[in-house]
Amino acid sequence: MYRLEPVRVYYLDEVESDPRMVARMERMLGAIELPESGAQKFSRDEVPGVLEDLQAAWTPEMVFSHPAGSWGRPLVFTVQDLEDTKPEYEEIVAGLPEGTGLGHVHQLLGHIDTARPYHEREDDWRKNYVCWPTKDFGTMSGCPHGCQYCGAGKSSLFTAIGLNIEEFMEVAVPRVIAERPWQQCFRMIGWAADHIAWEPEYDCIGRYAATLAAHDRYGYFHSTSANVDWLADVEHRDRLIGIWSTACESAARNIEPGSGPAIERIEAAAKCQEMGIPVRFKFKPLMPVRNWREEHASIIEQMCALTTPESIGFCVVMWNSVESLAAKIDLDLLDPELVQRARDASEEMEGVITGPFPHDVRSEIYHFMAEQVRRWDKDVLLYISTESREMWDEMSPALGQRAESFFCGCSSIALPGRKLAASRDCPHSTYKRLEQEPA
């Protein structure tokens, strides 16, 4: 795993109830640089004091100013609640320091969702998204990366890590598979996490692959990391699919501090491909930096030279207004002409989830990206991720895929080998409603 240098490390005393959790924590502690305070044990009664200490030790600015960057973020080891309860903890909350809240308490005490549904059809219709309905797994909250567009990467107070992985695989994974027999592929994604950055000491992905193999399912790891050599020793790696959120080099360096350089992510994917693990890429979020055309042309050429991905997707940074994006990243890093076009369209894009860049800007970028890929690879499947129906209507010819049945990077039915496992319960993407749903 990464050689992290956290300014604080805490663990919930309940971790000591299971020697497997203790062993997992000790492996991970052995792979990092411990602070002078060491790994400090805390009880439920001590949560307010822990949060006060974490606030004093870490601020969002330290993602850039700390010598270790985002790798200095505090770590908290906990026991994940597999029943997905969310107690109110009134007495604890009453004693919390200003600036913290119930969400922090839940993370410290292991109330980390085991699974979450995404892209339910009616929700996608309200938002004008096109994707595939899915349910994802998570065993932790937070990430060692400091991506500035990510709330957790930019400003989370700590990373909470559930240690009861064996129990998770015995209880949580089979439960969700039984609930969704039609879903063939499941992401292990976090929340706002990058699981492979913690391996092999965390020993989660290997156990995940074995559990999926027992249920004849497949699983994704979704990463901006280059930490993959350990995967060669995973027995059931044929059940895994690797997805990289990638970027051009200046975006990786300036906007995603702590993550792997763009070329290292591609080299990591090439290693996985040699291991027999299918690989896929997403330029998501695609940041239109000042020289975005030249930089993306270069990284796409390298991607196509070093790997044979099953798919490549594009998603221009969205989910923002110009003002909210400016609060996250320095807009001077971006193409000034495109930023101005976003400003000019701010009234039109108010409340539009694909903002801040208007349709014509995003379309220009997508057409360029598709053209660059086709210079080097005529066959790889292209798609746009979480985009509007209007954008799909325009882009389908250039992408070579239909909006209702496209093969993407991490959908619930995108099997290895570029095969869609469509079924009665999931016959098509959220571009279309199911027949029984209201219009």
Q: What is the total residue count of the chain?
A: 439
Give the model confidence (pLDDT) of 315-324 as tens digits. Answer: 999 999 999 9
Which residue spans within 96-176 are E strands per DSSP? Answer: 115-118, 134-137, 140-141, 159-162
Q: How far apart are CA 138 and CA 81, in angstroms?
A: 12
- Top pLDDT among 12 and 435 is at 12
Q: Name the DSSP letter for residue 310.
A: S
Q: Which amino acid is at 305?
A: A
Identify the pLDDT of residue 434: 83
Q: Which of 150, 358, 344, 126 is closest to 257 using CA atoms?
A: 150
- What is the CATH topology of the domain spanning 9-420? pyruvate-formate lyase- activating enzyme (3.80.30)
Identify the pLDDT of residue 86: 97
End-to-end CA distance of the chain: 48
Rounded to an integer, the average pLDDT of 191-209 is 97
Rounded to an integer, the average pLDDT of 81-90 is 98
pTM of the predicted protein model: 0.95
Q: How far apart are CA 347 and CA 24, in angstroms?
A: 51
Inter-residue contact 252 to 261 (CB < 8 Å): yes
Give the model confidence (pLDDT) of 32-66 as tens digits. Answer: 999 999 999 999 999 999 999 999 999 999 999 99
Question: Which structure tokens are listed for 382?
Answer: 């292209």
Whether 435 shows a pLDDT value over 80: the answer reads no
Dump the DSSP string for 176-230: HHHH-TT--EEEE-TTT--GGGGTTTT--HHHHHHHHHHTT-EEEEEES----GG
